[in-house]
Amino acid sequence: MSRIRALVGTRKGAFVLTSDGKRERWDVSGPHFGGWEIYHVKGSPADPNRLYASQCSSWFGQVIQRSNDGGKTWETVGNKFAYDGVTGTHLWYDGTPRPWEFARVWHLEPSLTDPDTVYAGVQDAAFFRTTDGGQTWQEFPGLRGHPSAASWQPGAGGLCLHTILLDPTHPGRIFVAISAAGVFRTDDAGKTWKPMNRGLRSEGIPDPNAEVGHCVHRIAMHRARPGVLFMQKHWDVMRSDDAGESWREISGNLPTDFGFPIDVHAHEPDTVYVVPIKSDSEHYLPDGKLRVYRSRTGGHEWEALTRGLPQRDCYVNVLRDAMAVDSLDPCGVYFGTTGGQVYVSADAGDSWAAIVRDLPSVVSVEVQTLA
Amino acid sequence: MIRVVLPAHLRTLAHVDGEVKLDVQGQATQRSVLDALEACYPMLRGTIRDHVTHQRRPFLRFFACEQDLSHEPPDAALPDAVATGAEPFLVVGAMAGGA
């Protein structure tokens, strides 16, 4: 019978949650790296017991951990993320130039085929790769060298490259998202990059339709249909049907189209999940109700999923990397909150249960479906 | 023999309990002590000093003999009491609150 392993990053450590395929009874392991911020933990699709974790703190900087046994034991690997070549400037919050400075790794995306190859998205925004299991990391400077980079400005969380999507059908095609620059795509495995933001409209920047400068919170794809992308932007939920070349809004009847995570059902490429948040100035749920919204039509028409979720006095947030799906049938959907709850739905969102309720604030959730 | 006291998180990272004892070649300075520390415990590279600039991370301080040595030049000699092992070299994390 299949097993599920959920990898949870929190503000004070990592937790590994395991269950059988029923997804009813869970074992909780952790905290691993207690007291450290764990921005992301993710397993290799090519070797599910190979895990990578981004561990950081304001005091001690960045550490990368690797496990070869599914999270039972860990070893530190390389943590040197040095920008390649001239370190130019981007814009600071006040609009003045500021030199690029490494702060932390937001996202680790293991290769689809090689457990020793991992891509890293970092703050200040840049794209790195290791091909030796994390011992050494090299930047692909073409992204940071894009002509628009001098005009990139940070979002509230910093100038972070927070999303990396690998196209399983086009080797060399990778999508990244940067707050607050937008989506970029490479078709040559990271050497050159193009902005992919046509159709986005953002109030609060001088040109609302600018090619670059949008605060994209998260993008998602279905592996079987990688030309279709879904986006939760700062405001607006968007969709692209041409691999990012253009976008159109699909917010439809959502109660608010501000939010952070977005994900796609494992077996239904047009079933999409978001968690609407009241506003960018409040960062908590509308009406005190924790509601996941599901569209089964690829956008526009959304239904609130509430069974098993608190429907009063709930004011948590769900961060951009804190939602995931498994590949069982029915599809499992998972998310973690800033209040420390991790919820699971074993029926594609129809009903929910808390796996844990009192973890530190959850930053990221990834899920592995194990044979 | 130089004695080094690390903050708790770095002791955990380096898998050590209590003080670290180091043999330092030549004069005992901040640089030579930290070089020896990182050679023995490579997982500490980048956690005390920046990988590239070798600047002390901003939320860390270096104390010894009841003095704050954080702003001393990295190649200045450490006090004799540190060099002889009578007193430890303290790497201290700021009590900066935080969430």
Of A36, A62, A80, the CB nearest to B9: A36
Give bridge partners of residue A131 from the DSSP assignment.
none
Contacts of residue A59 in chain B, CB cutoff 8 Å?
7, 9, 57, 59-60, 93-94, 96
User: B-side interface with A, Cβ within 8 Å?
Assistant: 7, 9-10, 13, 43, 45-48, 50-52, 57, 59-60, 93-94, 96, 98-99
Query: CB B46 to CB A82 under 8 A?
Result: no
- The Cα angle at residue A260 between residues A137 and A177, in degrees rounded to 5: 40
Domains of chain B and any CATH numbers: 2-93 (3.10.20.30)
- The three-class DSSP label of residue A7 is strand
Q: What is the rounded distance in angstroms from the CA atom of residue A187 to the CA atom of residue A146?
A: 15
| pLDDT one-digit tens code per residue, A204-240 | 899 999 999 999 999 999 999 999 999 999 999 999 9
Give the position of tokens 């961060």. A319
| pLDDT one-digit tens code per residue, B22-62 | 999 899 999 999 999 999 999 999 999 999 889 999 999 99
Model pLDDT, residue B45: 97
Distance from CA of A59 to the nearest CA of B (A): 5
User: Which residue does chain A place closest to B43, by CA atoms?
Assistant: A76
User: Which residue does chain B place closest to A36, by CA atoms?
Assistant: B9
Distance from CA of B49 to the nearest CA of A (A): 9
Query: CB A63 to CB B10 under 8 A?
Result: no
User: Which residue does chain A place closest to B8, by CA atoms?
Assistant: A35
Contacts of residue B45 in chain A, CB cutoff 8 Å?
79-80
Give bridge partners of residue A129 from the DSSP assignment.
A119, A138
User: Which residue does chain B place closest to A57, by CA atoms?
Assistant: B47
Within 8 A by CB and 6+ apart from A96, the residues are: none
Quote the ipTM score.
Answer: 0.93
Domains of chain A and any CATH numbers: 72-335 (2.130.10.10)
Give me the half-sphere count of Cα atoms (radius 13 Å) on the Cβ side of residue A335.
26
Task: Examine the pLDDT at A328 and tell me if it is beyond 90.
Answer: yes
Task: Examine the pLDDT at B94 and tell me if it is beyond 90.
Answer: no
Give the position of tokens 């990834």. A366
Q: Per DSSP, which regions of A21-111 are E strands?
A: 26-32, 37-43, 51-57, 61-67, 75-77, 89-91, 97-99, 104-110
Is residue B30 within 8 Å of residue B37, measured between CB atoms?
Answer: no
- Predicted model pTM: 0.96
Q: What is the rounded distance in angstroms from the CA atom of residue A81 to the CA atom of residue A61?
A: 11
Q: What is the rounded distance in angstroms from the CA atom of residue A150 to the CA atom of residue A89?
A: 6
Task: Examine the pLDDT at A34 and tell me if it is beyond 90.
Answer: yes
How many beta-carbon contacts under 8 Å exist across A and B? Answer: 46
Tokens of B90: 């303290």
Average pLDDT, chain A: 97
Neighbouring C-beta atoms of residue A253, cutoff 10 Å: 11
